Chains A and B, each alone.
Chain A
Amino acid sequence: MVVQAIRKATTGQNGVGAFILQCKRLDFHYCDWAGSSKGMNTFLRNSLSKFAAANPAVEITVSPRPSRHPIIKGTYINGREKAICVRNLTKEQILQKAELLRDANGEKLKKVTKPVKSINESVRGVWSPYHDGGIHV
């Protein structure tokens, strides 16, 4: 006998009932020595605590990455990662990049032409010529 999984009646969609921020984690990497990390170090000292307090849903880690440019790496609930190199950026610019990573959904950037995406079945169904009275010639 074949083991069958229980069929789901509905598909869970983030945001319909509960909402989970799609950015799980943000890693901030810095270098103590390099000049390109200057803005990053200022950001970590002054703004990061505020940013972390304002976004309790995001896990924030800070780790050194010596002799490399500073980066911010975001991990998303779809399993993907996004990394942004923030070398030579100022504190304010880094905050913008961190917000960008927080608001992103982790998907690869795609050109979208149709605004509405739906997994629901068509509400009004497919039109059929054999129903609804037909056309009297």
Chain B
Amino acid sequence: MSFFRITLTRSGIGMPKRTQGVLKALGLRHRMATVFYPVTPEVAGQIMRVKELVTVQEVDKALTKEELRAERRPEAGFYLETAAPR
């Protein structure tokens, strides 16, 4: 089963009420918010309504909130090689 990965890249402020309603229905509250929905005609229609505001990707798996956070987290860039006696 594939999913839409929808990220709000442009704010909905100043858009018509119906467009803002679609964003609300998708659960996109603020810019750079990401949601996952299964690929269905209903969701595709919603995306079409706000296609100028979002970026959409088709992915195989819906990520959880923690996985999204882990994706954004940069690498540490170091590791403990030799530990002093403690």
Contact = CB atoms under 8 A, between A and B. Distances in A.
Interface of A: 54, 56
Q: Identify whether the interface residues of B are mostly helix, strand, loop, or mixed.
A: loop
B86 interface: yes
Contacts of B85: 54, 56
Contacts of A56: 85
Interface residues of B, number: 2
Contacts, number: 3
A100 B86 CA distance: 15
Contacts of A54: 85-86
B57 to A, nearest CB: 37
3 contacts: A54-B85, A54-B86, A56-B85
A54 B85 CA distance: 8
A54 B83 CA distance: 13
A56 B86 CA distance: 9
Interface in B49-86: 85-86
B39 to A, nearest CB: 47
A75 to B, nearest CB: 20
A16 to B, nearest CB: 15
A54 B86 CA distance: 5
- Nearest first, the 3 closest Cβ-Cβ pairs linking A and B are A54-B86, A56-B85, A54-B85
Nearest to A54: B86
A19 to B, nearest CB: 8
A8 B50 CA distance: 70
A12 to B, nearest CB: 20
Contacts of B86: 54
A22 to B, nearest CB: 13
Nearest to B86: A54
